[in-house]
Structure formats: structure tokens, C-alpha cells
Amino acid sequence: MVATSEAAPLRVSASVGSKHHGGAGTRGPATRRRARDVVVFAAGVAATLLALVGTASVLDPGGRGGLVALRVPVPVPGPEDGPRTFYDDPEVSYAVAAGRRLTGWDAKRAEWLRSRGLGRRSAPERVVMVSGSQPEPCPGGAGDHLMLRFLKNKLDYCRLHGIELLYNREFLHPAMGGYWAKIPIVRAAMLAHPDAEWVWWVDSDAVFTDMDFSLPLAKYGGRNFVVYGWPDKFFVRKSWLGLNAGVFLIRNCQWSLDFMDEWARMGPAYPEDHARWGEVLRATLSDKDSDVACDQSALVYLLLNNWERPGKKTFVETEYFFQGYWKEVVDRLDGVAARYEAVERRSPGLRRRHAEQEHLRYAGARNAALRGVVPGPAGGGEVGWRRPLITHFVGCQPCSGGRNPMYSRESCDDGMRHALGFADDQVLRAYGFRHAAPLNDSVRGLPFDYPAAHARND
């Protein structure tokens, strides 16, 4: 079971989350036909757009704001003179479900790091964020524009936090489309980035709504897999909605490769097993009304039934919105913004203009000023008025437009624009602007000493 410290907030989450969590409808029978164009969970594979951001700085992952270290360029061996590594082994395959498992990865990765002079244990743990959408254009009229905005939001967060972003739009395994597509690309990302300690999968329909919050990586020491969940729903009721598989952090190690192999074995790349798993999952998990095994129900089953093994290495995050359900978030965003402004009016230091590169120092100072003043956990939660790290638009299907009928078009469209604009305002600030209003695409210049001057002038 989860540690005691994690159990208490769970209860709160479970009571709120169980009533409103919208994941079920996303994949209910009515929407099953849309499985292929589920952009949200789709992670293509082949052609990848690799956006290298934050090359200049690796920031203190704890978000204390003190350390800003320049990444020292390492002399990289060229094609002729590099020592041989796992890349030179013809037996090593990038593909998941290709028959041959990759073994000895921890040693192979360590050897690669040593050969590049990157073996120091004291270095900050590097994170590669992976996201993606479907290979084809979005069928919905506004879908591709929304996808661009969701991608832009991730690009912003990554630039501010010294994280590399890999955005992928191909299905690396032909049978693993839709929500299964994330597994092959996350696996391939581990091989392509032996330098990264963590791969952070973030669904395309998830918005970073707190540009200040840094992943508390120190807390995840000794764990290999971090996922947001509602422990009561997960452990007690064995609900397939007890965890959300749309955002997870996975350590680049052998355990993770084995874990993903096992997870992938429940998917469509193994048609016979997949069909059998569909029945098992429906029979075992509560409120699962479909015979089709989806990645999330497979994950819930895998962890529930192997808690002694993969479970031990799993951390069910409940303390902050590692991913928050949008219906619990969007109506509070204006109130959140007002409370942050009120704190800044009293804190001249926070109002100083600064280079974007200094963002994390100011983020740390802002968090310190907010603590105890604005209720709620840093990174946001179901109660309080702190910015949520991630607002996840489950069920809104921005690419296809085929949202869950339980949500109105207005609630999804306005909710997404609201969250994206809320995030954009945090970014635009370093450039001297903000939006004219929460749902308005026009911007206006920020007066000197904003928001204090703003209050005086208006």
C-alpha cells in the first residue's frame, strides 16, 4: 500500500474525484470508435520533432531557486573515434513488442554516461518530456490550432525549467495507436536519451497552468514510476479510474523497460492476449464497462496485482495536481490569479522585471511569499487557490472535437482557452505583456511595477 503520508490526502481526492472525474466517458463504448483519433492519448512515433530547450541552463529541480548551473558542453566523440556502446550492438532494438527484450540496460546506460564524461552522481537529474498527437491532421475544424497551443504551452514550461521536449506524431508500432502509442515512444526516448534520468509523458490535452512549479524529484528517490491517483478508488474499489495514465514520470532504467514490456503485452500489439485482457479487466476492475483493454485499465490492473513488485517502485502522487481534472480547476483560475496578484502587490521584489532565464529564482521567491498566505498546496489541489501544475482536459478531445457528451462544447472550449491563456500570461510577463482578458486573444503592455501600478492606474 501507499505510505501513510500519502494516504490521508487520498481520501479527499477520492471523494471529489470519483464523482466528477471525467475519464470514463473518454473511452466508453460510445466513443470506442474514436480510438484511432484520440489525440489526447495518441503518441505517434517515427518522425519526431525534437525541440531542444533550455540548453543554456539546468536549474535546481527542487525549485528552491538558488542554483542555476550552466550545462558544460562535453566533448562528444565523433563517428570514428567514440568507444563502442550499446548503440553499436545490432541486437539492441528500439521497438517495443519486437520479441527481444532489452537486458542489462542499467549497465549499458551507465557505460554510455561514463564514456561521455557524464557519470557524476551529483549532477541534477535530467528530464525529457515526451508528448505527441496523431499522424493525420485533426478532423475537428479548430483541432490543429488547439494542438499548436497545447504544444506551445509545453514548450514554454520546458524552456523555463531546463527540460528537453520531444514531440512525436507517429505510431511507432502499427498496432499501438491511440492511447497505446505512448508506450513505444517512451521506450524509444529512453534509448535515445541515455543522458536523461527521467522520461515525463504528458498527454497532448494537458496544460501546464503553473509555470513556477518544478517537479519534486528528490521526493521520488527510490521510485521508478510516478502517477497521479485517488488511492481509495484505486486500492479499495479497484476502479480503472483510480489512476490517470495521461501523465506519468518514469525512470530511465531496466525496471522501467521491463514494466513497459509487461504493460505493452496487454495491448493490441499482442492481439490474442489483448482480447483476453479485455475480458479480465472488465471482470476485475470496477466501473469498466468495455471489453477493450485500454492503457489505463491495464496500468491499474498491473499495479494492483503486482503491488509487491512494480507497486513498490511506484509513487501515487496525491499532494499536488501532477495532473488535475479540468472541471475542478477552470472555474477557479480567475480567483487564483487575483490571489497571486494580491501577494505581489505586497512584495516589491516579486514585481521587479527580470530576464526570462531568471524565472526559477523568482518562482522560488513567489512560492515562498505565497506559502501560508494563499491556501492550498504548491502545484495546486482539489482545495485552495494555488495554481495547478497541470490541468488535464480529459474527455474534451481537442483534436477530433468528439468530446464526451457529458460536457458542453462551451465548457470544453472555454475551459481550454481559459487554461491556455492563464498559462500564457505567466510567460508573457517576462516579455512585458498580458492578455486583455482571460478569454481575449489581444494583449496589452504591462505598466512598470505591475501589478502595483496596475492597481493604481485602473
Ligand X SMILES: *[C@@H]1O[C@H](CO)[C@@H](O)[C@H](O)[C@H]1NC(C)=O
Q: Does 442 bind ligand X (CB under 6 A)?
A: yes
Number of H helices, E strands in the chain: 13, 14
297: which residues sit within 8 A by CB, 6+ positions away? Answer: 240, 281, 285, 288
- Nearest-approach distance from CB 434 to ligand X, in angstroms: 11
- Nearest-approach distance from CB 436 to ligand X, in angstroms: 3
17: which residues sit within 8 A by CB, 6+ positions away? Answer: 230, 233, 241, 325, 382
Q: For residues 54 and 158, is the Cβ–Cβ distance under 8 A? A: yes
Q: For residues 329 and 388, is the Cβ–Cβ distance under 8 A? A: yes
Instruction: Please choose, out of 8-16, 376-384, 393-401, 437-445, the segment that lies near ligand X by the rule CB under 6 A.
Output: 437-445
The string over 182-192, giving b where at least 16 C-beta atoms fall within 10 Å of a residue's C-beta and e elsewhere, is bbbbbbbbbbb
Q: Does 15 bind ligand X (CB under 6 A)?
A: no
State which residue, 275 or 436, has the beta carbon closest to ligand X: 436
Q: Does 436 bind ligand X (CB under 6 A)?
A: yes
- Nearest-approach distance from CB 439 to ligand X, in angstroms: 8
For residue 451, whether the previous peptide bond is cis, meaning omega lies within 30 degrees of 0, is yes
* 177-236 positions binding ligand X, by CB under 6 A: none
Q: Does 457 bind ligand X (CB under 6 A)?
A: no
Q: How many residues belong to the site for ligand X (CB under 6 A)?
A: 4
Q: Does 445 bind ligand X (CB under 6 A)?
A: no
Q: Does 406 bind ligand X (CB under 6 A)?
A: no
Nearest-CB residue to ligand X?
436
State which residue, 178 or 415, has the beta carbon closest to ligand X: 415
Q: Which of 170, 191, 194 is nearest to 182 (CA)?
A: 170
- Nearest-approach distance from CB 422 to ligand X, in angstroms: 16
| Burial of 45: CB neighbours in 10 Å, binned 0-12, 13-18, 19+ | buried
Instruction: Please choose, out of 227-235, 285-293, 306-314, 432-440, the segment that lies near ligand X by the rule CB under 6 A.
Output: 432-440
Q: Does 440 bind ligand X (CB under 6 A)?
A: yes
Measuring CA to CA, how many Å separate 264 from each of 33, 55, 414? 21, 33, 35
State which residue, 15 or 440, has the beta carbon closest to ligand X: 440
Residues that bind ligand X (CB under 6 A): 436-437, 440, 442
